[in-house]
Amino acid sequence: MTAWSSFVDTFFNWHVIERYSPAIAKGVVVTIEVAAAVVITGIVLGLALAVVRAFRVLVVNALIVVFVDMFRALPPLVLMLLVYFGLPNIGINLPSFAVLWLVLALVLTAFAEEIFWAGILSIPKGQWEAARSTGLSFVGTLAYIVLPQAIRLTVPPLTNRTIAITKNTSLGTVIGVGEILNQATTAQSFSGNATPLMMGAIAYVVLFIPVVVLGRVLESRFAWRRV
Amino acid sequence: MEAIVQQFFNVAIMAQALPLVVAGLRQTIVICLIVIPLGLAGGLAVALISLSRLRAVRWAAIAAIDFFRSIPPLVLLIFIYAGLPFAGIRPSPLAAVAIAFLLNTSSYYGEIYRAGIESVGLGQWDAARSTGLRAAQTLAYVVLPQAVRNVLPDLVSNTVEVVKLTSIASVVALPELLYSADMARSVTFNSSPIVLAAAIYLAMLWPVVRLISRLERRIAT
């Protein structure tokens, strides 16, 4: 066998591809499900926390800062092992899918809060004062004047951060969530062939290249609004 | 309440696990000392290539950056560690981690450097060249110092991400901080060693995260 054909046989083996495509496809579905759940809960909670922070209640803000800092400083895999192996011992049993979702959603919440808050802070004071002087309430000013401008500013950094955290769904394989990487490594050990790993990597590229490119486009489109 | 303390904050078990966890911490620091300089150097190379005057080179660099940014680092690591042996290449866990991190973090650092270099006005190049500096000198003495200053928060924040990412080395059985803590957990059936590891990560990274928040705010205003 030539080197080329043995390479193809090992990494692009047609029989293996045929046999394990359904498993990888199942993994793709799980990855998309977790990713969608994480993105929605993470961004909504992050925005909610940033809005709460805008009311500037000292104790509440201190708690938010501690939460945000902790989830920015801790590796998600550490949090995942802590929740997955720790909670059952105190009587809380969560399926591994829920653990992955919970941990990544909280991590995204922390990063999103920080980004939204930076956006709110970047709106000049004059905007607040002008809006309040027209008779708008504090909440009205926040909702109709400040947030629409702030959210615009947050689009590029938030997109990039969201992509990075969504890719962490692959960590779910460690606790047995049947996402792409998990399906690929299982298929690899059953088939004794590296093709499933290649399929998994390709599945991720196909899934994420569009969002990565979108992030790049958003970055240049919104660049002129940068303060 | 007592169950929570027993399960997560058991001082006796933490004390027992401490030597193992400290050995893991040492390994984590070794990994960081390898992968951070590699990523910073690789990123600079990637940035310079992606700013090439040749369009084909530029596009190839950007395609490579986006390719490696769309593959999760754990997938890359497992591909290198478990896939390459099929091609007859058997990297050690540390070598696999170093290669995977080089490919992944160079892309991220590269994008940051590129933004930094682009933020320095073209007039700076012209002025430096007209004083007789060569292109390489202009880059090293005039452009890069300003570029790095402009993107310092992003560089630091990416470095925090790299340090956090070293925890995935545990998946290929490299005995770093998380791996050691998880070993202790599986022996004691108690999560306190992982809480100990988390506390160590926090002690290392919390000050840096605070610093980033302050750096970002100073630039915003």
pLDDT digits (tens, 9 = 90+) for A183-218: 999 999 999 999 999 999 999 999 999 999 988 888
Helices (H), B72-121: 73-78, 93-119
Cβ–Cβ under 8 Å, residues A141 and A75: no
Q: What is the pLDDT of residue B165?
A: 96
Report the CATH number that the domain containing residue B157 is assigned in CATH. Answer: 1.10.3720.10
pLDDT digits (tens, 9 = 90+) for B73-125: 999 999 999 999 988 899 999 999 999 999 999 999 999 999 999 999 889 99
> In whole angstroms, what is the distance from residue A157 CA to residue A47 CA?
14
pLDDT band at A225; cut points 50, 70, 90: very low
Least CA distance to B87: which residue of chain A?
A: A7
Please answer yes or no on whether B194 and A82 come within 8 Å at the CB atom. yes
CB contact (8 A) between residue B79 and residue A201: yes
Question: Tokens 């004691």 identify what position?
Answer: B188
| Nearest by CB: A78 against B82, B198, B208 | B198
- Cβ-contact A27, A182 below 8 angstroms: yes
**CA B6 to CA B203: how far, in whole Å?**
22
Chain mean pLDDT for chain A:
92
How much is the pLDDT for A55? 94
Q: How is chain A split into domains, by residue range?
A: 26-225
Residue B79: CB partners within 8 Å, gap ≥ 6? A197, A198, A200, A201
Count of domains observed in chain B: 1
If you count them, how many residues does chain B have?
Answer: 221
Residue A137 identity: S
State the nearest Cα–Cα gap between B178 and chain A, in angstroms. Answer: 7
Predicted confidence at residue A10, as pLDDT, reads 86
Q: For residue A170, give the nearest of B72, B185, B197 by CB distance.
A: B72
Q: How far is the CA of A82 from the CAs of A67, A227, B182, B203, in angstroms?
A: 16, 40, 9, 17
Contact B87 A167 (CB under 8 A): no
- Name the one residue in this structure whose structure tokens are 């997955």: A84
pLDDT of residue B30: 96
Q: What is the mean pLDDT of residues B186-193?
A: 93
Rounded distance between C-alpha atoms, residue A38 and residue A171, angstroms: 13
Q: Which residues in chain A are closer than 8 Å to B8, comparing Cβ atoms?
A: 82, 86
CATH of region A26-225:
1.10.3720.10
Which of A10, A68, A70, A78 to substitute to test the interface with B, most B CBs within 10 Å? A78
The percentage of residues in chain B with a pLDDT greater than 90, rounded to a whole number, is: 86
pLDDT number for residue A157: 87
**3 state DSSP class of A226:** coil
Considering only CB atoms, which chain A residues are within 8 Å of B7? 86, 89-90
Give the pLDDT confidence score for residue A91 in this predicted structure.
Answer: 87
For the beta carbon of residue B89, count every other beta carbon within 10 angstroms. Answer: 11
Domain that holds residue B48: 2-220
Two tokens, residue A165: 């955290």
Q: Could you tell me which residues come within 8 angstroms of residue A107 by beta carbon, excluding any fewer than 6 positions away?
A: A42, A71, A72, A76, A79, A165, A168
Structure tokens at A166: 């969504």
Q: Is A75 on the interface with B (CB under 8 A)?
A: yes
Q: A55-111 pLDDT, tens per residue?
A: 999 999 999 999 999 999 999 999 999 999 999 988 898 999 999 999 999 999 999
Give the A:B interface size as CB pairs under 8 Å: 140
Residue A227's pLDDT band (boundaries 50, 70, 90)? very low
Whether A7 and B87 lie within 8 Å, measured CB to CB: yes
Sign of the CA dihedral with A29 first, then A34, A35, and A39 last: positive
Which residues are CB-contacts of B154 (< 8 A; sequence separation ≥ 6)?
B112, B115
